[in-house]
Amino acid sequence: MDEQADQIAERGTLGLSEEARQEAQRRLPVIAPLAAQELVSAVDARSAADLLAMSTRSVYTLVARFRASGGLMSSLAPGKPSGGRGRSRMPARVDDIVTAAIYDTYLTRQKRRIVRLVEEVQLRCKKAGLPAPSAKTIRRRLETIRAEEVARRRDGPRSSAARRLTSAAGHGPVATGPLDIVQIDHTPVDIILVDEISRLPVGRPWLTVAIDVYSRCITGFLVSFEAPSATSVGLCLAHSGVEKRAYLDGLGLDTEWPIAGVPRLLHLDNAAEFHGEALARGCQQHGIGLEYRPKGQPHFGGVIERLIGTLMGLIHDLPGTTFSNPTERGTYDSDATAVLTLSELEHWLALAISGRYHHEVHEGIMEPPLARWKRGIAEHGDPRPVANSREYLVDFLPVVRRTIQRDGFTLDHITYYSDVLRPWIANRDRCRSFLIRRDPRDLSQIFVLEPDGRSYVTVPCRRLERPGISLFEHRQAVQMIKAGGRAQVDEEGIFRTVEQQRGLVKTAAKKSRAARRQLARQTPVPESSVDRVAVMPAIETELAGDDQAADLVPFPMERW
Query: Per-block average pLDDT, block size 10, for the chain (560 residues)?
Result: 52 66 87 83 85 86 80 77 52 82 84 87 90 87 72 67 41 77 92 79 90 95 84 86 91 94 89 76 84 62 84 90 80 87 91 92 84 92 86 82 90 90 87 84 87 85 80 76 72 76 62 64 49 36 36 34
Closest CA to 288 of 37, 72, 520: 72
User: How far apart (Å, rounded) are the C-alpha atoms in residues 260 and 33?
Assistant: 32
Total Cβ atoms within 10 A of residue 467? 13
Name residue 458's beta-bridge partners: 447
31 in Cβ contact with 66 (< 8 Å)? yes
Dihedral of CA atoms 491, 493, 496, 497 in degrees, nearest 10, equals -120
Amino acid at 80: K
> How much is the pLDDT for 342?
86
* 371: phi then psi, degrees, rounded to nearest 5: -65, -40
Measured CA distances, 46 to 51, 100, 195, 327 (Å): 9, 16, 69, 72
CA-CA distance, 80 to 498, in Å (whole number)? Answer: 44
User: What is residue 232's three-state secondary structure?
Assistant: helix
Whole-number pLDDT of residue 408: 92
Give me the pLDDT at residue 345, please. 92
Give the pairing type, strands 455-460 and 7-9: antiparallel
d(CA 226, CA 475): 15
Query: Among 31, 81, 39, which Cα is nearest to 58's?
Result: 31
Closest Cα to residue 26, out of 76, 69, 66? 76
Helix, coil or strand: residue 141: helix
CB 434 within 8 A of CB 409: yes
CA quadruple 497, 498, 502, 503: dihedral sign: negative
Q: What is the pLDDT of residue 210?
A: 95
Phi-psi region of 482 (alpha: psi -120 to 50; beta: other; left: phi over 0): alpha
Q: How far apart are CA 469 and CA 197, in angstroms?
A: 19
Distance CA 395, CA 72 (A): 16
3-class DSSP state of 186? strand
**Cα separation, 449 vs 14, whole angstroms:** 9
C-alpha–C-alpha distance, residues 383 and 209, integer Å: 19
Residue 216, φ and ψ in degrees, nearest 5: 70, 15
| Residue-level pLDDT at 209 | 95
Per the DSSP assignment, residues forming a β-bridge with 460 are 445
- Check residue 409 and give its pLDDT: 93
pLDDT attached to residue 260: 94
pLDDT at site 537: 34
The number of angstroms, rounded, from the C-alpha of 129 to the middle of its chain's C-alpha atoms is: 45
Contact 209, 311 (CB under 8 A): yes
pLDDT of 143 reads: 74
The length of the chain in residues reads 560
Query: What Rg, from alpha-carbon coordinates, does the chain have?
Result: 26
Spatial neighbors of 216 by CB under 8 A, at least 6 apart, are 303, 307, 362, 364, 365, 369, 372
State residue 76's pLDDT score: 86
**Beta-bridge mates of residue 448:** 436, 457
Strand 218-224 to 206-212 pairing: antiparallel
